[in-house]
Amino acid sequence: MPNSKQPAAPRIDVERHQRALLAAAADVLARDPDSSMADVAQAASLTRATLYRHFSNRPTLLKAIQAEALTRASETLHACRLDDGSALEVLQRVISALGKHGMRFRIILMKASDASPRFLTQRDQVLAPVVEVVKRGQLEGDIRADLPPEWIVTAMASLLIAAVRAAPTMKHSDGDVSDLIFRTLVGGIAAENPSGTNT
CATH code assigned at 28: 1.10.10
18 — pLDDT class (breaks 50, 70, 90): confident
pTM of the model: 0.77
On the question of pLDDT at 198 being above 70, the answer is no
Amino acid 105: pLDDT: 80
Among candidates 150, 145, 154, 120, which has minimal Cα distance to 132? 150
pLDDT value for 120: 81
Highest mean pLDDT among 1-5, 117-121, 149-153, 180-184: 149-153
151 and 86, same structural domain? yes
Min mean pLDDT across 81-90, 160-169, 180-189 is at 160-169
- CA pair distance 157, 151, nearest whole angstrom: 10
Q: Do 42 and 74 fall within a single domain?
A: no
The beta strand positions in 42-192, using DSSP E, are: none
pLDDT of 1 higher than 50: no
Q: Are residues 175 and 84 in the same domain?
A: yes
Residue type, 145: A
Q: What is the pLDDT of residue 154?
A: 92
Q: How many domains does the chain have?
A: 2
Q: Go through 7-46 and write b for each residue having 16 or more CB atoms within 10 A of its CB, e for each that does not.
A: eeeeeeeeeebbebbbebbbebbbeeeebebebbbbbbeb
Domain that holds residue 94: 65-189
Predicted local distance difference test score (pLDDT) of residue 146? 94
Question: How remote is the C-alpha of 34 from its chain's centroid?
Answer: 19
Instruction: Name the nearest CA neighbour of 99 among 124, 130, 77, 68.
Output: 77
